[in-house]
Amino acid sequence: MKTRAISLLVILLILCSIIISKEQRQKIEWKGKIEIEDGSKVIKNPGEPLYGEITFELEEDLSIGNEDDENYIFYGLVTLAVDSEENIFVLDGGNCRIQKFDKNGSYLQTIGGRGQGPGEFEQPMWIHVDVKDIIYVFDSLGRYLNVFEKDGKFKEKKRLKHSFFGFGISEEGNILTQISFYSPEGSTRDVVIMDSKGKVIKRIVSYPYKLPPRIKKRILGNPYSHRLYFYPALDGSGVYGHSSEYKLYVLNTSGETRFRIEKEEKAEPVTQKDKKRRIDNYLERQEKSSRKEKLSRNEVKKAYVFPKIKPFFSRIILDNERRIYVRRFKLYNPEDRSELYDLFSEKGIYIYRVKMPLPPRIIRKGYIYRIVPDRDTGYIKVKRYKIRNWDKIKEEI
């Protein structure tokens, strides 16, 4: 009798778990749709994420930088890369070198150095480590691409025809990147594919770009301006979007659009109050600066050209699982460094709204990496933070 009662209890528990699981599946239902437009797949997402909002819980677990050790001093333009073994590459523009550290922050080697010879740099700007851990460094002075083997041994130096920002390289050696074209007829910001010699072989997309007016030799950066954003993947593919519309284009290594991601998002107008606040902020900072020649309010008004609507986003990042993080537009606030991201799965489904307590430079394998300057000394530290709730991120159903 007792055995029978236990058996009935087990059956009831199994039935209850099946019912609960079914109810959960019914509750979590993606409300978007997938369509084909002009032969291309379009993922149309609703305004709300599948799983709601999540705050990344960050814990600093590594800091690299020490003014008393020449191997740990970085300054000037600094960019980062992380390889498959989680080694950290610091492209130290001030010292014209790459410093390689293991995942525990221990110094391993220096790659390159200042100069014009093989494997040397004059003005290094960007670093990329591909899926095979080959190291690429773009030197903007002379437009050189330096290539190093996995062990840091110099391989070759190529002279390119264009400067670019941020890049990925395919197995065929083609470069997927973003570049600027300037001409009297009008300038553009483009996403292109170059061959291994730096010749543009495919212009994927082109957006008009107009430089803001120069007032007394000054150009004022306007956070409300619309921009083209591009982020490369390790295999030479990538994602781009223009902040004037909420559309993201996911590319393969040949520069073809695999699919487009859209999200329901209402355009927010730039108001007169927004414009006045921006102008007032500049004038306040100007008064505190040591610059002798000041701009008048009318001159500042002329220097700022405001669009009708605010940008939909202000950055794109890919993590190692090819999930796409889209930073929602927010004016800079030194007292609140947190950022809000829309997170899309590899398949383009809007799965989370992510609150990031600190702005990341790289998101990789449950960690974010940051570049943190010291305003007093000018030196830079590289910090890594563990995302403690990384494993709680769900994929789409």
For the chain, the domains span 58-260+359-392
CA-to-CA distance for 157 and 162, rounded, in angstroms?
15
Residue 168, token pair as written in the block: 């990925």
Q: What is the pLDDT of residue 24?
A: 47
Give Cα separations from 319 to 61, 63, 364, 392 (angstroms). Answer: 19, 21, 5, 15
Q: What is the pLDDT of residue 9?
A: 56
CA-to-CA distance for 16 and 9, rounded, in angstroms?
10
CA-to-CA distance for 269 and 312, rounded, in angstroms?
11
Chain-centre distance of CA 58, in angstroms? 18
Q: What is the pLDDT of residue 290?
A: 85
CA 341-344-345 angle, to 5 degrees, is 140
DSSP labels, 169-231: E-TT--EEEEEEE--TT-EEEEEEEE-TTS-EEEEEEEEEE-PPPPBTTB----TTS--EEEE
CA-to-CA distance for 33 and 262, rounded, in angstroms?
10
**Domain 58-260+359-392 of CATH type 1.10.510.10:** no
Phi, psi angle pair for 249, to nearest 5°: -115, 120
Q: Can you give the pLDDT of all 397 residues of the chain as single tens digits?
A: 555 655 555 455 555 555 544 444 446 899 999 999 988 999 999 999 999 999 999 999 999 999 999 999 999 999 999 999 999 999 999 999 999 999 999 999 999 999 999 999 999 999 999 999 999 999 988 889 999 999 999 999 999 888 888 899 999 899 999 999 887 778 999 999 999 888 999 999 999 988 888 888 888 889 999 999 999 999 999 999 999 999 999 999 999 999 999 999 999 999 999 999 999 999 999 898 888 889 999 999 999 999 999 999 999 999 999 999 999 999 888 788 899 999 999 999 999 999 999 999 999 999 999 999 988 888 999 999 999 999 999 987 6
pTM for the model: 0.90
Annotate 327-382 with three-state secondary structure: EECCCCCCCCCCEEEEEECCCCCEEEEEEECCCCCEEECCEEEEEEECCCCCEEEE
CA-to-CA distance for 332 and 109, rounded, in angstroms?
36
Residue 340, token pair as written in the block: 């809000």
CA-to-CA distance for 125 and 170, rounded, in angstroms?
20
CA-to-CA distance for 348 and 259, rounded, in angstroms?
8
- Looking at residue 75, what DSSP letter applies? B
DSSP labels, 96-145: TEEEEE-TT--EEEEE--BSSSTT-BSSEEEEEE-TT--EEEEETTTTEE
Q: What is the pLDDT of residue 176?
A: 96
